[in-house]
Amino acid sequence: MDELKKLIAENREMLDSAEPSEGHINRFSEILNQQNNQKSNKLSFTWTTMLKVASVAILVVLSGLYVTERVLELVPEANHAQFNPEFSETQQYYVQLVSQRIGEIEQMNKVMTPEQRQMLMDEMTNMDSMYKKLQNDLDAMPNDPRIMQAMLQHYQMKMDILNRIINDLENVQQLNSPNHESIEL
């Protein structure tokens, strides 16, 4: 390497004597500048276009999410009475009857043992969880007659169970009363 440097240094005048033609450096600089400008224009066009498309896509997605969230918030709050007023009336009727039957059972609470009370509470909790599943299904499909029919059947089944419990509690109460011999069955 040192020999090469030494050789170049000794023959420097001879190597530097050949100059390019006039205007060569200017033409070379112009060509380099044109190539750099073309690359930067293509690159900037690509980036600006991509940024514009990306910003529009983000706006569309965000507005879609916003609208979807607002619509989903309104659906569960929607009263099913506007979809089917007859169903709503029937549902209110059964809710009132169930509340009345539960009140009657609570009045006869003295007749039940703690195990029976716990069993009754577990059964009511189980039935309520089944009903909540039906309500979620109805919220998802607001005007599906199969779900409405299943909800009404659930109320009827609950009423039958509560009526049987009341009848059984009344029978136990009559058997525990002091004058149960005079009552005909």
pTM exceeds cut of 0.75: no
The residue range of the domain holding 72 is 21-77
Within a domain: 92? yes
- pLDDT digit string (tens) for 120-158? 888 888 888 888 998 888 888 877 888 889 988 999 998
Are 95 and 115 contained in the same domain?
A: yes
Q: Which ranges of 11-23 does DSSP label H, i.e. alpha helix?
A: 12-16
Same domain, 54 and 138: no
Q: Are 68 and 153 members of one domain?
A: no
Pick from 115, 99, 93: which is nearest to 162 by CA? 99
| 162: its two tokens | 């509560």
Rounded CA-CA distance 123/126 in Å is: 5
Instruction: Judge if 93 and 148 occupy the same domain.
Output: yes
Is residue 9 one of the residues assigned to a domain?
Answer: no
Cβ(105)–Cβ(165) below 8 Å: yes
For residue 166, being part of any structural domain is answered with: yes
Decide: 159 and 94 in contact? Cβ < 8 Å: yes
Residues in CB range of 91: below 8 A, 6 or more apart: 80, 151, 152, 155
Q: pLDDT per residue over 12-71, tens digit each?
A: 777 766 666 777 778 888 888 887 776 555 555 576 777 777 777 777 777 777 677 666
Domain boundary among 36, 57, 77: 77
Into how many domains does the chain fold?
2
Distance CA 73, CA 65 (A): 12
Same domain, 85 and 176: yes
